[in-house]
């Protein structure tokens, strides 16, 4: 193991949500590469060679009086960073039949046992949006379906879709690291019908899918919904997440414009996952 030196920031945050999500997004934008959420806030990591003492000056939420954020900073070696991650990543159970765990967790007796090594990509089932999308996949019939997972992160949704019977799954992520990580996770879970691509909605051409899953964010979804509609088969289903309850009318309006009808939604801590039908 190389002993890369990391800088760890330990942020204490009040209120925890939506502050943590905003802080993670802002830190991600200035080059922080991994995050561990805990009960009082988050730990954020960047490699020492990418770090500058004044880099937090660009993080707007730290000077916003509506949020209270304090932090400590220290230098750690990669081995310790891995240990922190392992300590904090607990297995997640969805609907009692599906567990998302890391390779170092013991296998339990569930129908859908998903092993994910997330490292730095999003999608362990800990986030509300991933959890709700996994629940949607459990609640629907995927047997014989062709599926697109847009913004696939670790690949966790694509992996469950195949376990639930999908005959082919295209998983697309814009981020190179996610693309590589999803490929590793597909292999780790013995995926046979999942193809992972690096890119975005511009990769979609004449393909048709019975189901499209996209957990990204409000603005990307708003701009990609017309592309999704073009790729759905008659009666096809679209599951969207990555936005808040108050964004449902806007997203639904865009879906309606392209022939997609709202069917139902789930909600967790103000995050939502919504099902539309073509």
Ligand X SMILES: C[S@@+](CC[C@H](N)C(=O)[O-])C[C@H]1O[C@@H](n2cnc3c(N)ncnc32)[C@H](O)[C@@H]1O
CB neighbours of 35 closer than 8 A, spacing ≥ 6?
A: 24, 27, 28, 42, 43, 44, 45
Contact 183, 114 (CB under 8 A): no
Please check whether residue 54 is in contact with residue 95, taking contact to mean a CB–CB distance below 8 angstroms: no
Range 147-166, binding ligand X (CB under 6 A): 150-153, 156-157
Number of Cβ atoms within 10 Å of the Cβ of 29? 10
Q: Does 93 belong to an annotated binding site?
A: no
Task: Pick the closer one to ligand X by CB: 45 or 179.
Answer: 179
Q: Which is nearer to ligand X, 71 or 197 (CB)?
A: 197
DSSP single-letter state for residue 202:
G
How many Å apart are CA 27 and CA 21, to the nearest integer? 10
Smaller CB separation from ligand X, 84 or 241: 241
- Give the shortest CB-150-to-ligand X separation in angstroms: 6
Is 173 annotated as ligand-binding? Answer: yes
Output the smallest distance, CB 70 to ligand X, in A.
27
| Per-position x/- string for 205-244, each x denoting binding to ligand X as judged by CB under 6 A, each - no binding | ----------xx---x---------------------x--
Residue of 265, 245, 262 lying closest to 253 (CA atoms): 262
Q: According to CB under 6 A, which one of 174, 186, 194, 196 is a site residue for ligand X?
A: 174
151 is in an annotated binding site: yes
Residue 140 CB, nearest approach to ligand X (Å): 15
**Residue 73: CB minimum distance to ligand X, A:** 26
Give the C-alpha separation, 271 to 122, whole Å: 16
Q: Give least dist CB 217 to ligand X, A.
A: 7
For residue 41, give the H/E element and its range: strand 41-47
Q: CB-wise, 133 or 186, nearer to ligand X?
A: 133
> Phi and psi for 19 in degrees, rounded to 5?
-55, -45
Report 102-141 residues binding ligand X (CB under 6 A).
Answer: 121-123, 129-130, 133
CB 133 within 8 A of CB 273: yes
Interface residue list for ligand X (CB under 6 A): 121-123, 129-130, 133, 150-153, 156-157, 172-175, 178, 200, 215-216, 220, 242
């Amino acid at each position: 193991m190389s002993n890369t030196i990391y800088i760890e920031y330990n942020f204490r945050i009040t209120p925890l949500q939506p502050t943590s999500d905003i802080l993670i997004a802002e830190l991600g934008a200035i080059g922080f590469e991994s995050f561990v959420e805990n009960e009082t806030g988050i730990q954020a990591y960047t490699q020492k060679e990418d770090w500058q003492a004044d880099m937090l000056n660009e993080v707007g939420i730290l000077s916003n009086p509506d949020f209270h954020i304090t932090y400590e900073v220290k230098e750690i070696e990669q081995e310790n960073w891995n240990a922190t991650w392992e300590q904090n990543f607990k297995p997640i159970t969805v609907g009692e039949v599906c567990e998302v765990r890391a390779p170092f967790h013991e296998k339990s007796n569930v129908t859908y046992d998903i092993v994910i090594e997330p490292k730095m990509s999003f999608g362990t089932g800990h986030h509300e949006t991933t959890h709700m999308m996994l629940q949607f996949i459990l609640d629907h019939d995927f047997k014989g379906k062709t599926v697109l997972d847009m913004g696939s992160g670790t690949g966790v949704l694509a992996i469950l879709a195949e376990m639930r019977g999908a005959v082919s799954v295209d998983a697309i992520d814009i981020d190179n690291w996610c693309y590589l990580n999803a490929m590793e996770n597909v292999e780790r879970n013995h995926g046979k019908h999942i193809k992972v691509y690096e890119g975005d909605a511009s990769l979609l051409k004449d393909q048709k899918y019975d189901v499209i899953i996209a957990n990204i964010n409000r603005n990307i979804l708003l701009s990609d919904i017309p592309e999704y509609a073009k790729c759905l088969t008659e009666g096809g289903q679209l599951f969207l997440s990555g936005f808040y309850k108050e964004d449902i009318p806007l997203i639904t309006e865009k879906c309606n414009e392209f022939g997609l009808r709202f069917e139902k939604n789930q909600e967790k801590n103000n995050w939502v996952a919504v099902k539309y039908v073509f």
